[in-house]
Structure 1
Amino acid sequence: MMSILQRVREARVEIDGQTVGRIGSGLLALVCAERADTEAEADKLLAKLLKLRIFSDEAGKMNRSLQDTAGGLLIVSQFTLAADCSGGNRPSFTRAAAPADGERLYDYLVERARALHPDVATGRFAADMQVQLINDGPVTIPLHIAPVLRA
């Protein structure tokens, strides 16, 4: 799975003019499941989202995690993270999971996040969403959890 993390002061997702997900200070995670991904990759990604030390401590150093700060987590599906632009000017999305698999893994990630963290909001899988945020820092971090090769 892959993700772009943005440390935010606030973020929200709108669909058809209605806010469907909103957080205050925390992380906006744009996420994409790739073809070989399973729940194992979703679990690893979630562990990173919750434990990555990118929030400032009392000394101003990035030393605190989302769990430490009890910040919000806004999870938004974004299959375009799997774009391959190497073959020309029109991106290919063949690395992205098939829609049914992508939705299943997105739903699994959200369910696990809600079980482990008190403040989780979401967008809606495959919807036309407008995402608004105030990036804090700015701090933007790409994450890629490669699938485990299975024999």
Structure 2
Amino acid sequence: MRAIIQRVTKASVTVGEEQICSIGRGLCVLLGISVEDTQKDVDYIVRKILNLRLFEDDGGKAWAKSVMERDFEVLCVSQFTLQCVLKGNKPDFHQAMPAELAQPFYCHLLENMRSAYKPELIKDGQFGAYMQVHIQNDGPVTIELTSPTHPTDSRQMSKLEKQQQRKEKTRSKGPSESSREKVSQRSRPDPNASSGADGDVSSEREP
């Protein structure tokens, strides 16, 4: 799962001509759900959104307080385009969870966030609608998060799998032919050297 978290002085969502929700100071969060996301991803993203220290304290010290500690609002907007994979210049969204699965998953995430915080302070847009999101970024402060429970890029996953396969093949083969040859050469006795029993060394050896 990917999230773009923006500290805002105000934010709102409009569908058509109707403003369906708005918040004052707090966070506006764009959420992109992957086909591979699980409850672990939900737990991670919710915990980070609510606990990131993006606000000042009462004394003006920056990066000291979370949205929960300041009793600020959170506006969440489902954003499948965050799961974009570019094919040349064309965006491909096959990594995004299909809408029929993503909607209940997104609602479940909101429920988790409301359970962890104050339900009345968690707002959201309209899932699947063509929305106008109005954000007044404060700072600007923008944080990008990706849940770490699995690679989210298919090419990255393939690369990691290939690296692991190469490591396993190397272990199973043992030392290479060249390595064994080097070891064999090192173990052959030097005909010009003494046995070493009396501490002598060959006169041909360099001191």
TM-score interval for Structure 1 and Structure 2 normalised by the shorter chain: over 0.9
Q: What corresponds to 2:53 in structure 1?
A: 53
Structure 2, unpaired ranges of 5+:
152-207
Structure 1, unpaired ranges of 5+:
none
* CA–CA distance in structure 1, aligned partners of residues 24 and 60 of structure 2: 22
Output the amino acid matched with 1:130: Q
In terms of fraction of residues, the more helix-rich structure is: 2
* CA–CA distance in structure 1, aligned partners of residues 109 and 3 of structure 2: 12
CA contact (8 A) 1:39 1:108 kept: no
CA contact (8 A) 1:8 1:135 kept: yes
1:62 aligns with 2:25: no
Q: What corresponds to 2:165 in structure 1?
A: none
Output the amino acid matched with 2:32: C
Output the amino acid matched with 2:66: S
Deviation at 1:63, TM superposition (A): 1.2
Among 111, 130, 133, the residue aligned to 1:131: 133
Deviation digits for residues 106-134 of structure 1 (CA, Å, limit 9, x no counterpart):
11111122222220110011110000011
* CA–CA distance in structure 2, aligned partners of residues 109 and 23 of structure 1: 19
When the two structures are superposed, what TM-score results if normalisation uses the length of structure 1?
0.92
1:105 aligns with 2:105: yes
Q: What corresponds to 1:77 in structure 2?
A: 78
Output the amino acid matched with 1:98: P
* CA–CA distance in structure 2, aligned partners of residues 41 and 101 of structure 1: 15
Task: Decide whether aligned partners of structure 1 residues 104 and 146 sit closer, same or farther in structure 2, where only a CA change above 3 A counts.
Answer: farther
Q: What corresponds to 2:44 in structure 1?
A: 44
CA contact (8 A) 1:13 1:22 kept: yes
3-state DSSP of counterpart to 1:104: helix
* CA–CA distance in structure 2, aligned partners of residues 15 and 148 of structure 1: 34
Output the amino acid matched with 1:29: V
Task: Decide whether aligned partners of structure 1 residues 47 and 2 sit closer, same or farther in structure 2, where only a CA change above 3 A counts.
Answer: same
Q: What corresponds to 2:174 in structure 1?
A: none
Between structure 1 and structure 2, the one with the greater Rg is 2
Give aligned pairs, total: 148
Deviation at 1:148, TM superposition (A): 5.0
Q: What corresponds to 1:26 in structure 2?
A: 26
When the two structures are superposed, what TM-score results if normalisation uses the length of structure 2?
0.68
Q: What corresponds to 1:122 in structure 2?
A: 124
Q: How well do the aligned residues superpose, as a CA RMSD in angstroms?
A: 1.4
Q: Specify which structure has the bigger relative contact order, considering alpha-carbon pairs within 8 angstroms and separated by 6 or more residues.
A: 1
* CA–CA distance in structure 2, aligned partners of residues 142 and 79 of structure 1: 15
Q: What corresponds to 2:163 in structure 1?
A: none
3-state DSSP of counterpart to 2:90: coil
